[in-house]
Structure 1
Amino acid sequence: MSSKHHKIRVGISIGDFNGIGPEIILKSLKDKSITDFFTPVIFGSGKLFTYQKNVFKLQTNFNYINSPKEAQGGKINMVNLIKENSNIEFGVPTEESTKLAIASLEAATEALLNQEIDVLVTAPINKDEMIKYGFAHAGHTGYFEEKAQKKAVMFMVTDELKVAVSTHHIPVSEVAQHITKEKIKKQVKQLVSTLKEDFCVEKPKIAVLGLNPHAGDGGVIGREEIEIIQPAIKELFDQGIMAFGPYPADSFFQPEKYKAYDAVLAMYHDQGLTPFKTIAYEEGVNYSAGLPFIRTSPDHGVAYDIAGKSLADQTSFSEAIFTAIKIFKNRSEYKDLTENKLRTKVSHITNGVDEDLPTGDE
């Protein structure tokens, strides 16, 4: 359904309820006018959220439903996955909180795949605890890749800074063996498509970072730049893709440098996410780019140390919601534009006129 014809249905998975997930969800939805902009659909527990809203002294009313199909516009909808009371132990992951985190994620994802919600925003999870109870992935990204049967790019975004990472949650000792020329080329091409379709960037410019200190110093501190990264960038550039680098990571994240590009491809997790989270602070959003559906999350974790203390800042979660909405609208408009362009092209050819050829009266 086009975003022009209905309020976007934003699915929300609750993460570990002994962390700050429910708190930032409640705070993000506390404005009574929020449902004028979108329709929230939380996959959780009415009793759990009623308890937590009382802890944080928030006046939030829910529309309790059994299925996302029953969600109503103008209301904060709660899909009741469990009807029993929850044993809340703020700051401590438990079997109960972990299993509900898994159930919430799975139910929300099923609704997303069935188009019962339009986008999904995921609250923070404890990956280690979830693996103990049968979750087979080292994070959200791998889980969504499996569901989509397609590789995603972990893309951290704000309006001014967008950083992707070539390798995700793997040990630093294994990073070099996971970097290949073909992988870099594919990821840069995916970033270009994402920037065009989801962020309305007409001619994206991508900066690629080196792997080694000083981008290898001409091979003195490693040869990955010479043998893998530089050749990948050259082939991309020869194909008309504006990819540049490899740049030394230690000096790249200065405003006059990173602002000259539409996105940055870092080689590994901390190389990209450490400067991103330092610069973006509370406004950063994690976006799983390259998938057929839209999923975002805040750029922080479960924060057990402040759970239950009403100290959690909801800014990143709110940004994740509105980023998902913006991407949904941008993607819908891009699809409409390209389909209209194709229909126009077919119509011209059918009428014996190729619009790419001069007609004689130009």
Structure 2
Amino acid sequence: MKKDAQIVVGISVGDLNGIGSEIILKTFEDNRILDFCTPVIFASAKTMNFFKSHFKSGINFHNINNINQLAHGKVNVFNCWNEPVKIEFGKEDVKIGTYAIKSLKAATNALKNGEVDVLLTAPINKFNIQSKEFKFPGHTDFLAQELKGESLMFMITDDLRVGLLTDHVPVKDVVNHITEALITKKINTIHDSLVKDFKISKPKIAVLGINPHTGDNGVIGKEDDEVLRPTIKKIKEKGKLVFGPYAADSFFGSNNFKNFDAIIATYHDQGLIPFKTLSFGQGVNYTAGLTKVRTSPDHGTAYEIAGKGQADESSFKEALFAAIQIHKNRIEYEQLTQNALKKQQK
């Protein structure tokens, strides 16, 4: 039976040849974490015991084949496969990619079925996970299909939140993706997330421009004037505190970002370069807008240091804390909403 207020965290192991296993072990070696969440690692006992031995970890795993065997106060390992797996740290291996997907799919199914409360994903290799059965550029796109809602890649820390209009899109295709419909959908998603997930009642949102200097009145592109500005104006007229577009080159350096609860960048690197520069190691990748909570660290597989015991678990640990807090905030928001409806009905 599940303890009251004990949040069950499902964890996908990511690329077994990367640093995922190390940051998972280092995070849960702090037993205090088990006082307020119950982790379930979706992998196999054999694989996790290999990592335990390699990294000389003191964790004693509780191995389960059914979620009903879950033990609170323990680090649970849900067996997704039984065969031995050859681990070669730092090697890009398509076969290893299949185990990353087995873990992800099992953890996602448990999330959909309510068997775990939140999902925490260790880094994957976007190349070696590709197959006939899995054709997604990353976690976000897969989860957008599996879970209801409007997904948004939302990079977060305590002081900085950056969402993306377009995420894993080639730069040459970015402008073609940015439409009034997309802008409206993404701003609505980020606004709702700030209210429900972060307890900000009237969030202020900044939007970065598409072109350098937001187009310089059409000299460097017309998209900011013809698409972005009119859409922001319409959204503001409906009562949301949305501002911009702002020239991206000076927005972060001038500390203007501190005046807003969130910033929306128009494409991947425009948002993630400043985010990771300002917060690397403490940032969290959160998939906002879905019916379930999923977080991830703000880094990749780090093959160059895999297996060496050098990986920093800080971002993974922050992703764990963020998932737990967002889950609690959502429950509180739902309770407040239900109470408000009951009062209206009286």
Q: Could you say which TM-score interval applies, normalised by the shorter chain?
A: over 0.9
Alignment of 1:322 with 2:321, yes or no, is yes
**Equivalent residue for 1:249?**
248
Matches within 5 A, 1:307-346: 307-346=306-345
Q: Distance in 2 between matches of 1:303 and 1:133?
A: 26
In structure 2, the residue corresponding to 1:219 is in which secondary structure? Answer: coil
**Equivalent residue for 1:114?**
113
The one-letter code matched in structure 1 to 2:319 is A
The one-letter code matched in structure 1 to 2:158 is D
**Equivalent residue for 2:206?**
207
Give how far 1:200 is off. 0.5
In structure 1, the residue corresponding to 2:286 is in which secondary structure? Answer: strand
* Structure showing greater Rg: 1
Unaligned runs of 5+ in 2: none
Give the length in aligned residue pairs. 346
Matches within 5 A, 1:1-362: 5-132=4-131, 134-254=133-253, 256-347=255-346
In structure 1, the residue corresponding to 2:162 is in which secondary structure? Answer: strand
Q: Is contact 2:154–2:285 with CA below 8 Å preserved after alignment?
A: yes
Q: Distance in 2 between matches of 1:211 and 1:95?
A: 36
Q: Distance in 2 between matches of 1:339 and 1:143?
A: 31
In structure 1, the residue corresponding to 2:15 is in which secondary structure? Answer: coil
Q: What do the CA deviations read for 1:315-358 (whole angstroms, capped 9, x no partner)? A: 000001110000000000000001001101101xxxxxxxxxxx
TM-score when normalising by structure 2: 0.97
Q: What do the CA deviations read for 1:150-180 (whole angstroms, capped 9, x no partner)? A: 3301000001000001011111000000001
Q: Is contact 1:87–1:96 with CA below 8 Å preserved after alignment?
A: no
Q: Is contact 1:99–1:133 with CA below 8 Å preserved after alignment?
A: no
TM-score when normalising by structure 1: 0.93
Q: Is contact 1:21–1:124 with CA below 8 Å preserved after alignment?
A: yes
The one-letter code matched in structure 2 to 1:231 is P
Q: Is contact 2:47–2:85 with CA below 8 Å preserved after alignment?
A: yes
Q: Is contact 1:167–1:267 with CA below 8 Å preserved after alignment?
A: yes
Q: Percent identity, aligned pairs only?
A: 50
Q: Is contact 2:150–2:189 with CA below 8 Å preserved after alignment?
A: no
Q: Is contact 2:15–2:125 with CA below 8 Å preserved after alignment?
A: yes
The one-letter code matched in structure 2 to 1:171 is P
Tell me which stretches of 4 or more aligned residues in structure 1 moved more than 3 Å: none
Q: Distance in 2 between matches of 1:321 and 1:134?
A: 29
Q: Is contact 2:148–2:291 with CA below 8 Å preserved after alignment?
A: no
Q: Is contact 1:209–1:249 with CA below 8 Å preserved after alignment?
A: yes
Give how far 1:127 is off. 1.2
Q: Is contact 1:284–1:316 with CA below 8 Å preserved after alignment?
A: yes
Unaligned runs of 5+ in 1: 348-362
The one-letter code matched in structure 2 to 1:122 is T
